[in-house]
């Protein structure tokens, strides 16, 4: 028999769906409380205000995305495999987590900076290892991110807004190849 999710997880799930559908500013704590099927006290016990709830939802989505990205990257032994896996993870994750992806594309809470440090340090270390052996270009991480995931991110924005018909994972091969061509080293 499956255990019912705890109140905190129900609140986070309801908030993610409600914030993605209505926007963080338009959604109310009452909407979230009702959708989660919890008491007012349960909401305020876990989240003293909507700002903290929105931050928790955003950070939860970020943690889920980043953990999957790093796992995909680390599962590859070569630079090309890592670049392709990163693009594929990004597109698959957005398609499979539409509400969370829409939230990650919205305004970032202040706490995001500290959460991103470890993630980008791990990505930077992986990148430098492959740049040292000439498999990848030795670019700054800002440029790497723009070339590696920028086109995929833009495609996902269009898809989330209803302007692109094909699910993100359906264009993974083309976007992964474009990323590889722009990032591969001279070796």
pLDDT tier, 4 (very low <50, low <70, confident <90, very high otherwise): low
Q: Residue 138 belongs to what domain range?
A: 51-183
- Domain count across the chain: 2
pLDDT, tens digit (0-9, with 9 covering 90-100), for 129-159: 999 999 999 999 999 999 999 999 999 999 9
Contact residues for 3 (Cβ-Cβ < 8 A; gap 6+): none
* pTM of the predicted protein model: 0.88
Backbone phi, psi, residue 136, to 5°: -125, 155
Specify whether 16 is located in the same domain as 69.
no
Cα–Cα distance, 53 to 96 (Å, whole number): 22
Specify whether 117 is located in the same domain as 171.
yes
Specify whether 120 is located in the same domain as 171.
yes
Specify whether 160 is located in the same domain as 172.
yes
- We report the CATH number of the domain holding residue 35 as 1.10.10
Specify whether 4 is located in the same domain as 61.
no
Specify whether 44 is located in the same domain as 60.
no
Residues paired with residue 125 on neighbouring β-strands, in sequence order = none
pLDDT, tens digit (0-9, with 9 covering 90-100), for 16-43: 999 988 888 899 999 999 999 999 999 9
């Amino acid at each position: 028999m499956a255990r019912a999710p705890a109140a905190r997880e129900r609140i986070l799930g309801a908030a993610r769906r409600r914030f993605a559908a209505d926007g963080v500013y338009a959604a109310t704590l009452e909407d979230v409380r009702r959708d989660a099927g919890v008491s007012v006290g349960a909401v305020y016990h876990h989240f003293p205000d909507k700002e903290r709830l929105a931050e928790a939802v955003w950070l939860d989505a970020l943690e889920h995305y980043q953990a999957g990205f790093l796992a995909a990257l680390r599962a590859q032994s070569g630079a090309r495999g890592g670049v392709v896996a990163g693009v594929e993870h990004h597109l698959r994750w957005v398609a499979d987590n539409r509400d969370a992806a829409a939230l990650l594309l919205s305004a970032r809470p202040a706490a995001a900076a500290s959460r991103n440090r470890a993630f980008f340090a791990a990505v930077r270390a992986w990148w430098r290892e492959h740049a040292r052996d000439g498999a990848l270009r030795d670019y700054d991480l800002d440029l790497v991110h723009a070339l590696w995931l920028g086109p995929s991110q833009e495609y996902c924005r269009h898809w989330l807004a209803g302007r692109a018909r094909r699910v993100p994972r359906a264009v993974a091969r083309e976007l992964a190849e474009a990323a590889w061509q722009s990032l591969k080293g001279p070796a």
